Amino acid sequence: MGTKKTVFVSILLLIFNSNFGFCIPKDSSPSLGFINQITNMDNQRVFELFYEAVELAENNKKQEALNNFDKALRLAPEFVSLWYNKGVALEHLNMLEDALSAFGEALKLEPHNIDALNGKGIILEKLNRDNEALKSFDSALEVEPDNQFTLHNKAIILCKLGKYGQSLAAFDEVIKICPLNAKAWFNKGIVFVNMGQHNNAVKSFKRSLQINSFDYEVWLNLSISLSDCGQLTQALSACGKAIELYEYSSDAWSFKSTLLAQSRKFKAALAACERAIELCPDNLTALYNKGLIFLQTNKPEQALPLFTEIIRKDDRYIDAYLNMAVIYIQSKKLPEAENALSKLLAFDPNNISAWYMKSVVMSKLKKYKQQLFCLNRLLRIDNNVAVAWYSRSCVYLKTGNKQSALRDLLKSISLDEKFKNIALNDPDIKPLCDGEAFEKHMQ
């Protein structure tokens, strides 16, 4: 009844910003007219403040660096690199709107500054303004068409926008410029994951690892894709390599627990879960995996507190509600099951599993009117769920509506042939199968 997760690690496509840092300008100085407007002492002070700010930033003293950039800008407000680096400092302080304004000021002074255009695009992506980010990266590419950093960011944005074909083409451009760009191969694999092409993802991840075999995140994503391809042994090996490279990855230990549970090595799976939780007590996926392991080993009383804890930390964790309801149904605590499912449906009203499970609860409580309501809601969401038609047939039969019961039974069988045998072996519904109308429709 409960849903089963096969992939427990979120595969996130992050903006590739390894070059997005504090840059010291190369032969960059204010315009000639601007230099003439400040004294030599002022000019010297601007550069002192600038280099001090860069040094402070590199030592992770971002607020002090920002203060120095502001002091320098009061002396030289037309110094483009100051505005750019101020934007970087603000981004590191998570002051994204202010960072966007700083890059905007840089672009007012120098509209084709590729660093500022890239910086603006990165901030827009962080603000989830992906279409605007794409325009900024396109503007940067008009200045420098072969800039692989910009192409890489554009490819990522295209993937986020669901334009997978264009994203792959952009990554191919990056790889054409630099065939040994391991990150490009990795993110190309992520695009394939989003497309559901896990075999191609595996190939891209493996190519990335041929270039750089020390990136644990690539090994972890390779493990996930191998698992999706049904290659469990290879997936475990890749996940082990990820942990070998970075043993403090809670996500890697959590996914290892998934793989071990799928191999029915529950003791080892539980140990992997414990390690994941030890590394990150708020790793809800690891807590959820631990709960599933207890369910699979017939220890629902140990699973229930874990699902309760998950919901306390995240009251919209759908699978925790569903599995909690399963435990309550199995232990005949029907009001508690109903309560859990009602809470879930309050924020996810189109959850088919929740409506079906609630219909089961209503059936056990002999509340057939409410059961019928649940099944009707489910079938309005998706009218191709065979078990819902079969269940509604049972309700109609119990309430004396044989014509509707037969109609729904035949519909369930048309969607899934196995319900014919289920009906023939179900003493409650078998009378419907003995009539002439049933036989006629089965011919």
What is the structure's pLDDT at 436? 67
Q: Give the pLDDT of residue 22.
A: 38
Report in angstroms the alpha-carbon separations of 426 from 357, 419, 422, 433.
20, 10, 6, 10
- Residues of the chain short of pLDDT 70, as ranges, are 1-43, 435-443
Condensed to tens digits (0 to 9), the pLDDT of residues 249-279 reads 999 999 999 999 999 999 999 999 999 999 9
In this structure, are residues 259 and 235 in contact, taking their beta carbons and an 8 Å threshold? yes
Residue appearing with tokens 């074909």: 165
Domain boundaries, given as residue ranges, for the chain: 13-178, 383-443
State whether CATH 3.10.450.50 applies to domain 13-178: no
Q: Is 203 exposed, middle or buried (0-12, 13-18, 19+ CB in 10 A)?
A: middle
Cβ atoms 409, 418 nearer than 8 A: no
- Rounded to two decimals, the pTM is 0.79
For the record, the structure tokens of 302 come out as 């140990």
> HSE (CB half, 13 Å, CA atoms) of 140?
25
What pLDDT is recorded for position 133?
A: 94
Nearest-angstrom CA–CA distance, 417 and 410:
10
Q: How far apart are the first and last CA of the chain?
A: 33
pLDDT of residue 384: 96
Q: What is the pLDDT of residue 442?
A: 60
Q: Is residue 255 within 8 Å of 291, Cβ to Cβ? A: no
Place of tokens 């400092």: 89
Neighbours of 108 (CB within 10 A): 12
**Residues 223-246: tens digit of each pLDDT:** 999 999 999 999 999 999 999 999
Q: What is the pLDDT of residue 2?
A: 34
